[in-house]
Amino acid sequence: MERQWSSLIVLVCRGNLMDKRELIIELKTGKNRPAVARDPLLSSANTKWQGILLEHHRVLPFENKDVCTLNNIVVLHLAASLTLEWKEDGPFRQIRILPNQVTIVPAQMAHSARTSDSRGEFVLVSLEQRFLAYAASEHVDPDRLELMPVQGGNDALIEGICSALQAEAHAGAPGGRLYSDALGTALAAHLVQNYSVQQSGLKDVQGGLAKYQLRRAIDFIHDNLEKDISLNVLASAVGISPFHFARLFKQSTGLAPHQYLLRCRVQRARRMLVGSDASIADIAVRLGFCDQSHLALHFKRVYGVTPKKFLREMSTRKILTQEASVF
């Protein structure tokens, strides 16, 4: 029964994951419904993330009987411990899940789960199967890619990535597609490497990008500073997988792709402040920042002052230079 619902799942998944709540399918009726009945405290549904969805929920008593998920689900449990009853094959078994432990539910896996607890919170991160397959496409046959279920495991990397995604969603996703793609790709690659039924093992590539690859990546970034560049698109421009591109790019430049993009935008903003009459707000929008305050935050990180203070200092220097020329 585990995989016989594939055609139904494909039909349900035709909608955009980002436009909806995370869904599960009732195997006996074929109906789909939200994985968690109550609306989330936080959701990334309104961001531009693609292939990945985050929901932050309070724990409530529930029972999901004979269901499967549409996507690969990672759950980070927060605050209080939780007693979960879980069934894949055979009878229910009781599992005690502690704060900061993780649960992994593979896509399309038939299962039942229930709890009577009503304390604590959790973060749910959903990865589409195509996103997971693409993240490790050089090492795993996408048609054979399948994760192993985990209930209450300890994994510091998953905990860190889920927390980073939660913080990014809470802030309104100021990092853009490139940042969410980087986090999602790192999570997907980690899942494939450590929780795949195939146990593929991703090779640790060292040495950075070749010079022509780095030049191509940098040129692409500079030519598209105003766009919300995705990691997939940037990696495709170089001709390697997103997972390896992110690692090799950082080895070559010392910065993650999204960090390098932000620095380039800030440097372009500085030149525009000096060489044009555009307002700070206009420059921020033109270069893909969320707003003027988003630009100011990163401008200060790079140059130590806000754009307004930078302009005041430039104006003062200009006046002093003009006065000096008079004397």
Nearest alpha-carbon partner for 110 in 141, 133, 75, 86: 86
Cα–Cα dist 35/281, whole Å: 40
Is pLDDT larger for residue 68 or for residue 10?
A: 68
Instruction: Note the pLDDT of residue 138.
Output: 60
What are the domain boundaries of the chain? 6-195, 203-254, 263-327
For 85-123, what is each residue's pLDDT tens digit? 999 877 899 999 999 999 999 988 899 999 999 888 999
Mean pLDDT, rounded, of the chain: 83
Instruction: Note the pLDDT of residue 134.
Output: 72
Q: Say if CB 25 and CB 5 are below 8 A apart.
A: yes
For 68-78, what is each residue's pLDDT tens digit? 998 999 999 99
Is pLDDT larger for residue 151 or for residue 138?
A: 151
Q: In CATH, which of 1.10.10, 2.60.120, 3.50.50, 1.20.120 is domain 203-254?
A: 1.10.10
Same fold, 203-254 and 263-327: yes
CB under 8 Å, gap of 24 or more: what pairs does 223-227 form?
225/261, 225/264, 225/265, 225/268, 225/287, 225/288, 226/286, 226/287, 226/288, 227/288
> What DSSP designation does 300 have?
H
Residue 282: band (very low, low, confident or very high) from pLDDT cuts 50, 70, 90: very high
Using DSSP's 3-state secondary structure scheme, residue 204 falls into: coil
Q: How far separated are the first and last CA of the chain, in Å rounded? A: 90
3-state helix, strand, coil in the chain (%, to 5): 45, 20, 35
For 162-214, what is each residue's pLDDT tens digit? 999 999 999 999 988 999 999 998 898 888 888 887 654 455 556 788 888 99
pTM for this entry: 0.75
Q: Which CATH architecture has domain 263-327?
A: Orthogonal Bundle (1.10)
Regarding the domain delimited by 6-195, which CATH topology (the fold level of the hierarchy) does it fall under? Jelly Rolls (2.60.120)
Q: Is the pLDDT of residue 12 over 70?
A: no
Is pLDDT larger for residue 67 or for residue 290?
A: 67
Is pLDDT larger for residue 199 or for residue 83?
A: 83
Cα–Cα dist 236/49, whole Å: 18
